[in-house]
Amino acid sequence: MADTHADPRMSSARSSPKRSMSFAWSDPAFRAIVWQVLIVGVVVGVIWYLISNTANNLAARRIATGFGFMDRIAGIPIGESMIPYNPAEHTYGRALLIGVLNTLKVAVIGVVLATLLGTVIGIGRLSKNWLVAKITAFYVETIRDIPLLLQLLFWYTLLQGLPSPKQALRIGDAVFLTNRGLKLPLLVWEWQHTMVLATLAVGLVGVFLWSKHAKQRQDATGVRPATWPIGCGLLIALPAIVGIVLGAPLEIELPVLRGFNFQGGLTISPEYFALLLGLVVYTAGYIAEIVRSGIEAVARGQWEAAGALGLRSGMVLRLIVLPQALRVIIPPMTSQYLNLTKNSSLAVAIGFQDIVSIANTTLNQTGQAIEGIAVIMAVYLTISLSISLFMNWYNAHIALVER
């Protein structure tokens, strides 16, 4: 053992020994490749079999295939739509788009409301007030234990018990509550209103930039310049001035009882409201538990240490507790957002026309079952992946930077 450099680890030019792969079963590299080729081959084979078999069966049963139906005139009635729709001239493609928009309308508003309600209830469960803690605990335990479908039917039946349009519950001549839905006054939208909204967006950007500047000043000088006068100016005064200068009309359209129902104004249908209410109430039960566990995951010592540093309680929550709690809260919260979105497909049961409802009707009228279900799956996949991507980005954004 005279030459210590014989040890390859000691040689300056370290490289793994070159070894040609042998085609023997005893060679692990060869075995690995064989297994991978086999598994990929089987997966591709199964998929190919399913597709070709489906195509053969469809052809044997003389069932038309393809997405050509998307360009056909739909002729199916749709109750509520965010974009203009006339069954006599618009296509199945547009009908399906309305379904997607209706699903998004429930999912987006539902996620926001469920987060707010869930957070309040979650914090409520941690309250030192006995009554608040017990009521919120009761809420969580009850709501989580009843199937969502039953809750939706319950809310829908409850809303149907409201009086008919002729005996509407009312606030003055503006707001009416009936079994046909909630009727609200509607601002007649003009281009000036769009300008006001644009100014508000500009104002928001301005406030964001100003608060960044304020933070820099604080870091540099230790004094934080006041942000609220600028904020008020940008967010309230500026849009108001733009509105007045452009002469934005304030014409309000009131709902009026004519014939069978109220005409004009804004309508929130019982179907939409029951679905939204059911989803929000149900999901909030889960979100409450996530928020509670997140806050409880922050050690007591963190609160005390922050207090010892002389931070105010609001700052303790904002600077010390929340950043640590959010790390625990965000990942399960993502699952709840996905659940809420997917659960919105129960809309079929209470007659709200979401993507599942419209795609079901479409596949029934056109007979394109596989295409229709593929559309539903693609829509949910796209929405869910978008939520996941956003939440993952946010999770990375708020993650503690470890040094």
Partner 1 sequence: MMRLITSGAGALLGGLMMLAGVTGPAAAQGTGSATLDAVKTRGQVLCGMSGSVPGFSLPDSQGVMRGLDADTCRAVTAAALGDAAKVKFVATTTQNRFTALQSGEVDMLSRSTTWTLGREGNLGLMFAWVNYYDGTGFLVKKSSGVKAAKEMDGATICVQPGTSTELAINDYYRLNKMKFTPILIQDQAEIQGAFLSGRCDAYSTDASALATFRFSQGPKADELLLLPDIISKEPLGAVVRKGDDKWFDVVRWTFAAMITAEEKGITQANVESFLTSTDPDIRRLLGIEGDMGKALGLDNKWAFNVIKAVGNLGEMWDRNITPMGVPRGINNLWTKGGLQYAPPLR
Point out which residues bind partner 1 (CB under 8 A).
50, 53-54, 56-58, 60-64, 75-79, 87-88, 149-150, 153, 157, 160-161, 164, 179-180, 258-261, 263, 270-271, 348-351, 353, 356-357, 360-361, 363-370, 373
Q: Shortest approach of partner 1 to residue 99 CB, angstroms?
A: 12
Which of 127-156 are b and which e, b meaning 16 or more Cβ less than 10 Å from the residue's Cβ? Answer: eeeeeeeeebeebbeebeeeebeebbbebb
According to DSSP, the residues that pair with 264 across neighbouring strands are none
The smaller minimum CB distance to partner 1, of residues 47 and 299, is found at 47
The smaller minimum CB distance to partner 1, of residues 17 and 259, is found at 259
Nearest to 381 by CA among 332, 335, 328, 341: 341
Q: Give the count of beta carbons closer than 10 Å to the beta carbon of residue 400.
A: 9
The smaller minimum CB distance to partner 1, of residues 140 and 349, is found at 349
The smaller minimum CB distance to partner 1, of residues 181 and 239, is found at 181
The smaller minimum CB distance to partner 1, of residues 78 and 111, is found at 78
Q: How far is CA 390 from the centre of its chain?
A: 10
Q: Shortest approach of partner 1 to residue 298 CB, angstroms?
A: 41
Give the CA distances from residue 67 to residues 55, 72, 351, 352, 355, in Å, rounded to whole numbers and listed in that order.
14, 10, 26, 25, 16
Q: Shortest approach of partner 1 to residue 75 CB, angstroms?
A: 5
Residue type, 346: L
Q: Shortest approach of partner 1 to residue 185 CB, angstroms?
A: 20
* H-helix or E-strand spanning residue 107: helix 92-125
Place of tokens 């042998």: 22
Nearest to 118 by CA among 261, 279, 242: 279
The smaller minimum CB distance to partner 1, of residues 136 and 362, is found at 362
Tokens linked to 357: 């409802």
The smaller minimum CB distance to partner 1, of residues 243 and 265, is found at 265
What secondary structure, in 3-state letters, does 35-48 show? Answer: HHHHHHHHHHHHHH
Residue 256: strand, helix, or coil: strand
Q: Shortest approach of partner 1 to residue 202 CB, angstroms?
A: 39
Q: Shortest approach of partner 1 to residue 333 CB, angstroms?
A: 27
Q: Shortest approach of partner 1 to residue 277 CB, angstroms?
A: 16
